[in-house]
Amino acid sequence: MNATSINKIGVFTSGGDAPGMNAAIRAVVRASNFFQKESMGIARGYEGMIEGDISKLGTRSVGNIIQRGGTILKSARSETFRTKEGRAKAIAQLRKHGIDGLVAIGGDGTFTGLHALIEESGIPAICVPGTIDNDIAGTDYTIGYDTATNTAVEAIDRIRDTALSHNRLFFIEVMGRHSGYIALNSAIAGGAVAVIIPEAETTFDELYTILEQSGKANKKSSLVVVAEGAKLTAMDLARMVAERSNYFDIKVTILGHLQRGGSPTYFDRVLASQMGVAAVEGLLGGKTDCMVGIRNGKMVYNSFKDIMNGQTHEIDPGALRLAKILST
């Protein structure tokens, strides 16, 4: 399909929600309008695509949403779309509504589904990385990561207040799936004594030694940040410490989905806006089967093969070293 023939761009969000998704939707719609193209909102991700839950979006439709968390288009996971028959139904609905270009906002599962749809339909499509986990290769930041990390840091600051009041040891578990980005950077910003992440597992004995040293240094409280993808959970670690010593007054806080909600930070709003516009410009410039990313402050386009071949966004060794130095 010639890029100049794209007249109606569909936009949808899929997978887990992330703060800033609404800003990205807004950017896609307004960029489409700027280039005199129609935009269509596909509700509930691939499931809504299959069911034809599709409606026109105008500039007024996306007014007053840039500051809102979640996604106005809703999100859902679709087992039906994993089948060729399910994708055929989705493609039929896209054609029925005249959609000849797509922008998907989500994570790696969203991208995998979109790649299959492109191959089977020929409809040009571009992905925008929206996930708090910051685990996608090809971009320095994903939409929602900054807000989720700030939320974690705010929670850690509040927990420290009560930890100091009672001389307690707190294990704080943060989200991130298989990535330790949120845990590592919130631990540095929150002054944690240790951080446990999947990419650089600390053994229990190593952690216990750190806690003992912290006690000998007469620290009034100790905070340990644990990524949800670590082999040992916050509950596991708390139990193991309690079994070895009764010196510590131990508490566990699991932040969970608290990190996905809330108003996006300025960074996520600007990033989402930049990526949404870049996705539309990419489509109209003839790009497809790729993901918008930001590297060293510049927008880039990554082919599906480059980002979905087992690569992940690797943790910076310098950040690990920084966390170790500052915990002493």
DSSP H helices in 10-83: 21-34, 45-51
Classify residue 52 by burial, with Cβ atoms within 10 Å: 0-12, 13-18, 19+. Answer: middle
Contacts of 282 (CB under 8 A, 6+ apart): 126, 290, 292, 301
Catalytic residue among 17, 53, 100, 133: 133
Token duo for residue 282: 């990419």
CA distance 179 to 145: 11
CA distance 8 to 93: 13
133 in active site: yes
CA distance 188 to 156: 11
Query: CB 2: neighbour CB atoms within 10 A?
Result: 7
The most distant pair of C-alpha atoms in the chain lies apart, rounded to whole Å, by 71
Active site (catalytic) residues: 133
